[in-house]
Amino acid sequence: MRQWTDQQRADAATRARLYRPWACSTGPRSALGKFISSRNSYKHGRFTYEKRLLGWYMRLAALRIKQLKTRLNYQDQKRENELIAKYGLPTPFRPDRMAFYPYFAVHPLHEKQKRVYSPRKKSQTQEMFDFFTSLSDE
């Protein structure tokens, strides 16, 4: 930082009084210049107007979503109550236990059957391989 002597400080004050820079200063004149100069104090954005406005809109949107969810839950409950009043309480779903037995090796209600060997159908590439290898044998 510059160290001013008393003489230097007095000379600078004299020059400033002669030049009078405050008389020449007009500030921004155009709309763009005024907008740019209005942002001079913008440093970090933590307390800016835009951020406060966005936060307000976010809280408003969260409240609106909460209202909509509450209304939808109410409508679903109302619809369910109407269906219960019209058709009675629904019976709980009971899955068919026998439908799960194909996933086990042995079906408890059937005798164990012997597997019958059935040859698989050959693929087209296997048939071509067999055909050309049989030609080489002849």
Q: 80-109: per-residue pLDDT in tens?
A: 888 888 888 776 666 555 555 555 555 555
Give residue 67's domain range.
45-88
Q: Mapping DSSP to helix (H, G, I), strand (E, B) and coil, where does residue 80 land? A: helix
Q: Is residue 21 part of a domain?
A: no
Average pLDDT of the segment spanning 104-129: 67
Q: Mapping DSSP to helix (H, G, I), strand (E, B) and coil, where does residue 26 land? A: coil
Q: Is residue 107 part of a domain?
A: no
pTM of the model: 0.33
With beta carbons less than 8 A apart as the criterion, state whether 28 and 36 touch.
yes
Q: Per-residue pLDDT for 125 more than 60?
A: yes
Q: Is residue 20 part of a domain?
A: no
* Total domains in the fold of the chain: 1
- In angstroms, what is the C-alpha Rg of the chain? 44
Q: Is residue 61 part of a domain?
A: yes
Q: What is the identity of the amino acid at 84?
A: I
Cα(128)–Cα(89) distance, integer angstroms: 64
